[in-house]
Amino acid sequence: MDTVRHLQPDKSWVDSYLEDCPARTVLDVLANKWTLLVVSALRQHDGPMRFNELRRRLTGITQKMLTQTLRALERDGLAARKVYPTVPPRVEYTLTPLGVDAGQLLNAIGEWSEHHVPEILGSRAAFDARPDPS
């Protein structure tokens, strides 16, 4: 029996406020800044992207972090990895339909962030300018 289908009828186990809720593991992946940026880059690119294309697009990401992020996305079914039998091997990444769906949510967060960055930066500056409460 398919585990997902088996769990779907009874959603009483889903309470993301609880420490052992399975939804928390999904939130951990989706709430990661690199996940948001990798998914966004894959959505904006016209076709599959190679590892180094992603790395060049996402300035500041380390090779290790990009590898970890792509593996997490692949493990959760949000991204697909295709290896071509060439020397050296060519590897491409694309979003799955589930990843495209998640990408819509992440895109909304990215757009909100870009729209409100002046307010956020102003608030940070005002907060940082306050006298130390201690």
pLDDT tens digit sequence for 55-97: 999 999 999 999 999 999 999 999 999 999 999 889 999 999 9
On whether the 11-129 domain is CATH 1.10.10.10, my answer is yes
User: What is the C-alpha separation between 40 and 124, in angstroms, rounded?
Assistant: 26
Instruction: Measure Cα distances from 127 to 5, 90, 94, 113, 131 in Å.
Output: 48, 48, 41, 19, 9
The pLDDT, as a whole number, for residue 12 is 57
Cis peptide before 97 (omega within 30 of 0): no
110 versus 12: the higher-pLDDT residue is: 110
The pLDDT, as a whole number, for residue 121 is 97
Q: What is the pTM of this model?
A: 0.79
SS3 state at 8: coil
Encoded amino acid at 88, one letter: P
- Summary mean pLDDT of the chain: 88
User: What is the C-alpha separation between 44 and 46, in angstroms, rounded?
Assistant: 6
Instruction: Measure Cα distances from 110 to 6, 33, 49, 68 in Å.
Output: 34, 10, 20, 21
DSSP output for 70-98: HHHHHHTTSEEEEEE--SSPEEEEEE-HH
List Cβ neighbours of 77 (8 Å cut-off, separation of 6 or more): 96, 98, 99
- Ranges of each domain in the chain: 11-129
